[in-house]
Structure 1
Amino acid sequence: MQETRLDTARIRAARRVIDPMFLDTPLYRCEALEPHIGCAVSVKLETANPVRSFKARGTEVVASGLADRGPSAVVCASAGNLGQALAWSGRGRGIDVTVVASRSAPAAKLDRIRALGARLELVDGDFDMARERAAAVARYDGIRLVEDSLDIETCEGAATIGLELVGAAPSFDTVPFDTVLIALGGGALATGVGHVVKALAPEVEVVCVQPLGAPAMTRSWRQRRVVTTGSTRTIADGVAGRRPIPAVLDDLLVVADDAVLVREASIVAGMRLLLDHAGLVVEPSAALGLAAILEDRDRFAGRHVVTIVCGGNVDMDAYRRWVNAAPR
């Protein structure tokens, strides 16, 4: 495999600084889903933790390094999940955390950030506007800017999921699945898990999934150069970026076998399937993997697919509207 910014030895070391409650999350074959999607599917459940997403794996690595250097303060931009995770990891280590988010971010995520003790600053506009403001706060206050996907700790923390996926096999020679479907936003999850899978189980296909309404990283992967978009339009707020980071794209080009775009109706249908047949309430980003299967059943027929259920922070009023409108 070509080199990425990630290092497998550092990823293994990251497990030693991540709170165990975020590690070894459930991985199980969900046979109840299979008649509805036409292939074998296993679920990696990243919502069974205090922040209900995979993001704390990365923020634990960030916060551990900061705590080793004494009192500190950090700022990040967040669509909601990173902010919660950084607030949780910082609170336990005496780190002052500021989170910049869009006013349009889901209220449930914003409320949880506040409840975890972080200072929350809201801006007009989308996530990329929040990124600009967070960078300005970091410069003005002279504090650490935590930038998801660009900061290697966030990628290598997420990559520990890949170790657990491959390590679940009886040996590193074979794995029980042949495809892993990964939600694609800024790229930390995709590049992290993809790096480990390609390093330890290169025969497994790594497929990244993004909404049609937020296609910047997928278009960039396809054209092998950074492609920005003027706006986003998707319910999957956690992956709704407009400006890919060049270094992250470089890593994605190494580890991803494919990147696909899916419709909003398919995302909602995936959420409904996870509720009805797996008993899981998930945010839209977590249903992207199932959406990809629903849109291309022939491609995945006969395969054993792993989908990473990456987050469960969702506004329940919106969730009820979406799933109640989805056909059963």
Structure 2
Amino acid sequence: MRKTRLDTARIRAARRVIDPVFLDSPLYRCEALEPALGCAVSIKLETANPVRSFKARGTEVVASLLADSDARAVVCASAGNLGQALAWSGRGRGLDVTVVASRFATAAKLDRIRALEARLELVDGDHELARERAAALARYEGIRLLEDSLDIETCEGAATIGLELVDTAPSFDTVLIALGGGALATGVGHVVKALAPGVEVICVQPLGAPAMTHSWRQRRVVTTDSTETIADGVAGRCPVPAALTDLLLVADDAVLVQEASIITGMRMFLDHAGLVVEPSAALGVAAILEDRDRFAGRHIVTIVCGSNVDVDAYHHWVGAASL
């Protein structure tokens, strides 16, 4: 079998530099969800930490390496969660952090980046334009550019979730992973296939942001001209070729889900699990809702990857009656 860019020994080493507040996140069977879904469901809750997403697992590794090398500054493009995580990790290690984001990004995420003392630059475009601007700033200022899913540290930091799944979860058949740039899917997928190869790895992406799924299906990079989804955290148009290569080695399937299913999944998390989650975190439940027969009788693990939502938008999607 061909190998991914990831290395299981480095992933285990990554745990030693990640702040423990981001490790060993809750993992539990959520029986209240099961009658409506027709399968056993366990939740890996990556929102119970200071940045309310899994992203800090990767930025902790990056910031640690930068601090050890006496680097003083780093820039990234972000839809919001990566920027918060890098700001948190960088602040604790004395790094100057710049985050480039779309001015149309979720306001709550942008506010939190500012609160964490990062420099925030907004662009009049989508995430791909933010990536271009971040790269230009890195060249101009001579500082480190952090590229999510391309930089292996972001994948191997996320992969520590996989270690926790295979080390602590009871027997499960399938893991459903939100698919955006690919760091989470390739990281967790690498560990699962290395240590629990019988588990099916299924990636889930919105129908309105399908670039990585189309790329996986066609085994080549496929870009899209635009995205149209409320799941801003996974709304990329231009896949990272190296991340796609890794994904092709670890994913058993990649599926697309409709916006209505994402919203239903968010509502189910609130009503049945007492969890406020962002759209990307509901992709796994959305996949089950759209193909109940496929998952019937299985034990599914879904990674709840973030909970940074704009309150007004959340009320609009989920409905005030549910709150």
TM-score category by the smaller chain?
A: over 0.9
TM-score (norm 2): 0.99
Distance 1:326 1:211 in 2: 25
Distance 1:296 1:132 in 2: 37
Aligned partner of 1:308 in structure 2 is 303
Q: Do the aligned residues in 2 keep the contact of 1:268 with 1:326 (CA within 8 Å)?
A: no
Distance 1:157 1:142 in 2: 25
Q: Do the aligned residues in 2 keep the contact of 1:98 with 1:119 (CA within 8 Å)?
A: yes
Task: Report the number of matched residues.
Answer: 323
1:2 to partner: Cα distance: 2.4
Aligned partner of 2:278 in structure 1 is 283
Aligned partner of 2:237 in structure 1 is 242
1:71 to partner: Cα distance: 4.2
Distance 1:67 1:9 in 2: 21
Distance 2:71 2:117 in 1: 16
1:72 to partner: Cα distance: 1.2
Distance 1:143 1:70 in 2: 12
Aligned partner of 1:274 in structure 2 is 269
Q: Do the aligned residues in 2 keep the contact of 1:61 with 1:153 (CA within 8 Å)?
A: yes
Q: Does 2:210 match 1:215? A: yes
One-letter amino acid matched to 1:188: A
Alignment equivalent of 1:251, drawn from 233, 246, 249: 246
1:324 to partner: Cα distance: 1.1
Alignment map for 1:46-195 (pairs within 5 Å) = 46-169=46-169, 175-195=170-190
Deviation string, structure 1 residues 224-248 (Cα, Å, up to 9, x no partner): 0000000000000000000001110
Distance 2:67 2:321 in 1: 46
Distance 2:7 2:221 in 1: 24
One-letter amino acid matched to 1:275: L
1:325 to partner: Cα distance: 8.1
TM-score (norm 1): 0.97
What SS does the corresponding residue of 2:264 show, helix, strand or coil? helix
Aligned partner of 2:225 in structure 1 is 230
One-letter amino acid matched to 2:26: P
1:42 to partner: Cα distance: 0.1
Distance 2:225 2:321 in 1: 29
Distance 1:325 1:8 in 2: 45
One-letter amino acid matched to 2:11: I
Q: Percent identity?
A: 85
Alignment equivalent of 1:203, drawn from 198, 204, 208: 198
